[in-house]
Structure 1
Amino acid sequence: MFRTPLSRRHVLRGAGAALALPFLDAMLPRLQSAPSSFKPWAKSIGPAPRMIFCYVPNGVNIFEWVPKDDGEKYALSPTLDTLKDHRSDFTVISGLGHPAAQGGHSGADTWLTAANLKGKPGADYTNTVSVDQVAAQLHGKKTRFPSLQISDKGGTGNALHSNTLSFDANGTPMPAESSPRRLFERLFVPDAASDRAATLKRYAERRSILDDVAAESAALNSKLGPKDRMKMDEYLTSVRATEKQVERLQGWVDRPKPDVKDGGLQLNSKPEDGHDRPMWLDVMLELSYLAFVTDLTRVVTFEWSREASGYGGAGENHHELSHHGGDPGMLGKLAVIDRFHLTKLARFLGLLKATTDGDGTVLDRTVVMYGSGMNSGAGGEHSPKNLPLLVAGGRKLGLKHGRHLAHNPAKAPPLSNVLLSLVQKAGVETQKFADSTGTLTGLV
């Protein structure tokens, strides 16, 4: 995995003297990740609409990302050329952004919500529901897991620097998983009898608490004024949603998990280890793929790195390079990271495309949205406009591909139009999401 570096303590000896060597490139470890041996399945257990949202932080080298021309005959940009084998399977979308977003490193917080995080008077931070959770409300009724949240940090993180892309109906962040092994065990390892008993006991206790809370809240409600009643209604709505979730979880306790072995999965990869970084991205995408083909879930959000952090394929400091100030050398290194990320996306698209799903492939019924919630711009500024974005897959759901949909950032429709288009094609019957003005022309 590593080429053994020359020791910095190495000395040259001669004539009774010892001379220390100067610092040499040969003293640096050479990172070389082991390629994954995971193989795609021949077919899924059955066709279904699916969605995965893949987020990269810190923006991209926009000069090498955006194609120079648009339409179906556009030429791939130097960075997007990494995806040339999948050209007919994706659409590049430029010029779009979130009008209500503040920009900077809060991009992950708003990428799937389009919220104005400072929009509520008297509140430091207020988010809204993310589009993945709108889809999960529909598809989660049919799967063991309504949705999966993955990120390199895990948990929820901090306001304006979230470790998750997913926010529930109240705008509350939903914790993400960072460990491949823990995620695999959650998805595929059967529970022992003692675990089952403990789980059922925990659900029963939770139901009892919820019943008590609902009863006391109803009694209190009659004593409140109109404004407080409104707040209490919002609270009770959350309680009822939790009750439904507990009921759904109880229904899955005795249903066996899919029989999936861990062969080829590098489950010990660490997300914040520069050497492990390529392997960690591969295995988390492989687990997302397995969750789809076994129909454990139909909705995944994957924050590849938290904003203001991240690594390249050889451990480069992604965040530092995003503050390039227009420096050509830093921009060149940023483009190398961008292309590294797209090699991982290309491999994932290949897995989806290699697996039969009804009368097509898994990619044909899987919507893949990839991009960032900020644009590092011409001088390293962190703008919420002209965000790097592409959408792949979903042909059998009605998405059109093989083109560059270019928009003037000053007159572009909101990015929410893309989110509305995708959630509609996933089967959700809605005409509005966040600040959308309609679906995106050319994508549907």
Structure 2
Amino acid sequence: MNPLFHTPLSRRTALRGMGVTLALPLLEAMLPRTLHAAPSTYRPLAKSGAKPVPRAIFCYVSNGVNILDWVPEEKGKGYKLSPTLETLKEHREQFSILSGLGHPHCLGGHSGGDTWLTGANLQAVPGKDYTNTISVDQLIAEKVGMNTRFPSIEIGDESGTGTAMHSHTLAFDRNGTPLPAENSPQRLFERLFVPDGADSRDATLKRYAEKRSILDDVLGEARALEKKLGKEDKGKLGEYLAAVRETELRVQRQEAWVDVPKPVIDSAGLQLNSKPGDAHDRPMWLDVMLELSYLAFVTDTTRVISFEWAREAGGYGVGGENHHELSHHGGDPETLKKLAVVDRGYLERLARFMELLKSTDEGGIPMLDHTMLVYGSGMNSGPGGDHSPKNLPLLVAGGGAYGLKHNQHIAHDPDKHPPLSNVLLTVAQKMGVETESFSDSSGEFSELL
């Protein structure tokens, strides 16, 4: 039995037989699980094995934060860290706090995970309850994804895609279709770093061939159908065919990597059995998923990662707290204190991840300078517990090699502010995407540059 994951045996457990009951001595199996908790022993590499390239990771926390303890009172350079941000004091030169920003067209509430990286109005299309758009990570993946085994990686504390308004993923393709997230460290490690056997290789190639055959049939039928359609329907069909062609390109990219060996990574120190839905495991699960993200970057296995640390309207805090319930605090001081504890617990995990990136040399500078990290939530629980898309908690770190400036609090009026999409656009541009707009952006976020 693995002591990290067992349910403690009751101290009242006894042996019964022949009408006699014998009490058991104190056994290890009766000890609380927390006594078996072990922090990660993983240590970062001294030097990166990848060439210096821009990377981006988007880290999402659900249910908002205690905004009163999050937003600093002072603005500009050299501001005083807020009580919550004190957790990151060792890294203050490497991050900026952006306050007052939001997604003007979003609905608010617990649909924030669906729209954090898209900025979409989910009810913009008449007659449809839900219509999303492409997320910025996928816009970036379209540009840089052909250079790596995986164009992007999607991680969440629940696997799959979830449901509309409560997605398990932050990533959406050009049709607004959610891309499934992975929540198992073991499966993610195997996908990234465990070599495929001969049988697995043949099965993979067969699967790709079947996909190509299906796509060929779909394209053939679509071309025949197009001649019978009116102008509006031809436009809709064109959007559908664009998605089919993107799938075709994705299959081709995957085929090209079948015979390229995966990086050799030792799993020592990686707690791959950690479970996101286990209150005891939460810190270790967050750490190991961030460690795998670090390894994916350091081996140039991908350059884009989206990571939903917990889905909206659910999920544990780092210590197993009911984060969703705490977000409905109603302004209660004691509940707000508990919510701030959750916020600081999350930032402790973020600080550790930043330290991994800072500790690894890449081309003579810390790897963090080649990595842009966006951390925040798509919801503001507000002073009274309202779930607003305004004044979203947002932190941007790293990217010094690409001109991002830090150690500042960039404050805006929550009712008069540039869209958060300006920040996403700026990250996309620094990743090499040649575009002047994204979603509802009005331009680059020059205050970061």
Which TM-score applies when normalising by structure 1?
0.94
The answer to whether structure 1 residue 98 and structure 2 residue 103 are counterparts is yes
Asked if the contact 1:57–1:306 (Cα under 8 Å) also holds between the matched residues in 2, the reply is yes
User: What CA distance in whole angstroms lies between the structure 1 residues aligned with 2:34 and 2:326?
Assistant: 19
Partner of 2:125: 120
Q: How far does residue 314 in structure 1 lie from its aligned partner after superposition?
A: 2.4
Is 1:411 aligned to residue 406 of structure 2?
A: no
- Map of 2:310 onto structure 1: 305
RMSD of aligned Cα (Å): 1.8
The amino acid of 1:280's aligned partner reads: W
Structure 1 residues not aligned, in runs of 5+:
11-26
Aligned pair in 2 of structure 1 residues 363, 282: CA closer, same or farther (>3 Å)?
Answer: same
How far apart, CA to CA, are the structure 1 residues paired with 2:32 and 2:191? 35
Tell me by how many angstroms 1:44 deviates.
Answer: 1.5
Alignment partner of 2:161 out of 151, 156, 165: 156
DSSP 3-state at the match of 1:263: coil
Partner secondary structure for residue 446 of structure 2? coil
* Higher mean displacement: 305-314 or 246-255: 305-314
| Identity within the alignment, % | 66
Amino acid at match of 1:145: F
| Equivalent pair of 2:326/2:339 in contact (CA under 8 Å) | yes
Alignment partner for residue 232 of structure 2, among 227, 234, 239? 227
User: Alpha-carbon deviations, 1:187-242, whole Å to 9, x = none?
Assistant: 00000000000111111111111111111111111111111111111111111111
Q: Distance in 2 between matches of 1:88 and 1:398?
A: 14
In structure 2, C-alpha distance between the alignment counterparts of 1:189 and 1:109, rounded to whole Å: 31
Correspondence for 1:22: none
Give 1:31 shift.
3.2
Query: In structure 1, which of residues 360, 372, 384 is the aligned counterpart of residue 365 of structure 2?
Result: 360
Residue 75 of structure 1 aligns to a residue whose secondary structure is: coil
SS of the residue 1:186 aligns to = helix
Displacement of 1:384 after TM fit?
Answer: 0.4
Per the alignment, residue 36 of structure 1 pairs with: 40
Residue 440 of structure 2: aligned partner: 435
> Which amino acid in 2 is paired with 1:242?
T
8 Å Cα contact 2:33-2:280 kept in structure 1: no
Match of 1:23 in 2: none
Offset, 1:312: 2.3
Q: CA deviation at 1:359?
A: 3.0
2:324 to 300, 303, 319: 319
Whether 1:248 and 2:243 are equivalent positions in the alignment is no
What corresponds to 2:60 in structure 1?
55
Q: Which segments of 5 or more consecutive residues in structure 2 lack a partner in the other structure?
A: 14-29
Residues in 2 aligned to 1:168 and 1:118: alpha-carbon distance in whole angstroms: 17
Q: Match of 1:275? A: 280
Aligned match for 2:114, one of 102, 109, 113: 109
Aligned-partner Cα distance in 1 for 2:176–2:141: 15
Tell me if the contact between 2:108 and 2:389 (Cα under 8 Å) persists in the aligned partners.
yes
How much does 1:121 deviate?
Answer: 0.1
Report the TM-score, using the length of structure 2 for normalisation.
Answer: 0.93
Residue 348 of structure 2 corresponds to residue 351 of structure 1: no
Aligned to 1:203: 208
Task: Give 3-state SS (helix, strand or coil) of 2:125's partner.
Answer: coil
3-state SS, counterpart of residue 91 of structure 1: strand
Distance 1:208 1:66 in 2: 54
Using the TM superposition, give the Cα deviation of residue 7 of structure 1 relative to its aligned residue in structure 2, in angstroms.
Answer: 5.4
Q: CA separation in 1, counterparts of 2:8 and 2:185?
A: 29
1:338 is matched with which residue? 343
Contact 1:148 / 1:299 at 8 angstroms: preserved in 2? yes
Alignment of 1:387-426 (within 5 A): 387-426=392-431
CA drift of 1:29 comes to 4.6
Contact 1:66 1:77 in 2 (8 A): yes
Given that residues 358 and 366 in structure 2 are in contact (C-alpha distance below 8 angstroms), is that contact kept between their aligned partners in structure 1? Answer: yes
Number of residue pairs matched? 429
SS at match of 2:45: coil
AA at the equivalent of 1:378 = P
The 8 Å contact of residues 399 and 425 in structure 1, kept in 2 or not, is answered as: no
Task: List, as ranges, runs of 4+ consecutive aligned residues in structure 1 with deviation greater than 2 Å.
Answer: 1-10, 27-33
